[in-house]
Amino acid sequence: MTDTKLHDLIIIGGGPAGIAGGVYAARKQLSTVLLAQELSGQSIVSEGIENWIGIIKISGADLAKAMRAHLEAYKRDIVDVREGERVTSLVREGEHFRVTNTSGAAFTARAVLVASGASRRKLDIPGAAHFEHKGVTYCASCDGPLYAGADVAVIGGGNAGFETAAQLLAYAKSVTLVHRSSEFRADPVTVSQLLKHPNMRALKNTEPVEVRGDQFVSGLVVKNKETGETTELPVTGVFVEIGVLPNSDFAKDLLALDTTGHVKVDPRTQRASVEGVWAAGDCTDELYHQNNIAAGDAVKAIEDLYHWVATRRSR
């Protein structure tokens, strides 16, 4: 299906950045199509978000629901929300841009806001892909309760790793956190609090080398980087928290990306390397990635692109 309408704007993504972009586009009467695989953000799995400004504490699921309702309330017939497909390509077509998704549908617009966020970095060692959902997991709040009374490992020594360990300590018999460097990246307060827990231990300078098991995970082989010694931890759950990668594959032939694939932007305006394209949130090369920042980026982008689009409408 090809949508023959020339829109003012295509927004790619329906997380905090995409939804903020959608709300602002509606209020500025920019005819928009918003294409999102799912209307929600990465923090949907969080049990409690305590820094979304204006709300003291909210679960990730409730925040996603509230953002969806906000967009629904203002989109009228100005923002056409299409959920459920992945965008596969973004190309320039003369003065305009053409975006295609997995169902083969194509959309054209004067301007594009890329707000496609990021996805979890996968553990790339033998056994990790084979045992995904059979003991290897990327979501403590979704799967943690399944490991009540079990010995589990967490891979990653950043805030996400320690947050995951904290959640798991409520259910698991023991939690072993595996971190490849000599210093944890998580906030020192969180680290010292958690390491006091009797069921928690952390291995520094240690990397995972293999996930083992039969039908389900029965062990994680780790290697001490200083001594070269390998040990099998007898765990039945492996929770992976080793960062995220930007969802920017569809834009790689058009836009300048950094070495990890983040869309390069001018932080004053959110303009990407090609005139007519803006980017916001976790898909960008901005230093800090948070819900408030993603939404703010998109607001900045819409303010900037509004005038740009208005001058092109009359051409």
Ligand X SMILES: Cc1cc2nc3c(=O)[nH]c(=O)nc-3n(C[C@H](O)[C@H](O)[C@H](O)COP(=O)(O)OP(=O)(O)OC[C@H]3O[C@@H](n4cnc5c(N)ncnc54)[C@H](O)[C@@H]3O)c2cc1C
* Residue among 35 and 152 whose Cβ is closer to ligand X: 35
CB of 118 to ligand X, least distance (A): 5
Lookup: tokens for 229: 């010694």
Q: 227, exposed or middle or buried, with CB in 10 Å at 0-12, 13-18, 19+?
A: exposed
- Binder among 37, 108, 236, 270 for ligand X (CB under 6 A): 37
| Residue 206 φ/ψ, nearest 5 degrees | -130, 135
* Residue among 210 and 249 whose Cβ is closer to ligand X: 249
SS3 state of residue 278: strand
For the four alpha carbons of 187, 189, 195 and 199, in that order, the dihedral sign comes to: negative
Cα–Cα distance for residue pair 63/51, rounded to 1 Å = 11
* Residue among 143 and 282 whose Cβ is closer to ligand X: 282
Of 7-15, 149-157, 166-174, 208-216: span binding ligand X (CB under 6 A):
7-15
* Residue among 65 and 86 whose Cβ is closer to ligand X: 86
CB of 161 to ligand X, least distance (A): 11
Cα–Cα distance for residue pair 137/33, rounded to 1 Å = 34
CB of 154 to ligand X, least distance (A): 13
SS3 state of residue 165: helix
Lookup: tokens for 21: 């972009």
Cα–Cα distance for residue pair 154/178, rounded to 1 Å = 6
How many whole angstroms from its chain centre is CA 298? 15
Q: Which of positions 116-175 make contact with ligand X (CB under 6 A)?
A: 116-118
- Binder among 26, 34, 49, 242 for ligand X (CB under 6 A): 49
- Per DSSP, the residues of 122-158 read PP-STTTTTTBTTTEES-HHHHGGGGTT-EEEEE--S
Could you give the angle at the alpha carbon of 12 between the alpha carbons of 156 and 6, nearest 5°? Answer: 170
- Taking residues 85 to 124 in sequence order and writing x for each that binds ligand X by CB under 6 A, - otherwise, the string is -xx---------------------------xxxx------
| Residues forming beta bridges with residue 221, ordered by sequence position | 210, 232
- Binder among 7, 11, 16, 255 for ligand X (CB under 6 A): 16
47 scored as a contact of ligand X (CB under 6 A): no
- Taking residues 273 to 302 in sequence order and writing x for each that binds ligand X by CB under 6 A, - otherwise, the string is --------xx------xxxx-x--------
CB of 309 to ligand X, least distance (A): 21
| Residues forming beta bridges with residue 175, ordered by sequence position | 152, 200
List Cβ neighbours of 20 (8 Å cut-off, separation of 6 or more).
Answer: 280, 294, 295, 296, 298, 299
* Residue among 111 and 294 whose Cβ is closer to ligand X: 294
CB of 279 to ligand X, least distance (A): 9
CB of 246 to ligand X, least distance (A): 9
CB of 19 to ligand X, least distance (A): 7
* Residue among 169 and 233 whose Cβ is closer to ligand X: 169
- Taking residues 211 to 250 in sequence order and writing x for each that binds ligand X by CB under 6 A, - otherwise, the string is ------------------------------------x--x
Binding footprint of ligand X on the chain (CB under 6 A): 12-18, 35-38, 41-43, 45-46, 49, 51, 86-87, 115-118, 247, 250, 281-282, 289-292, 294
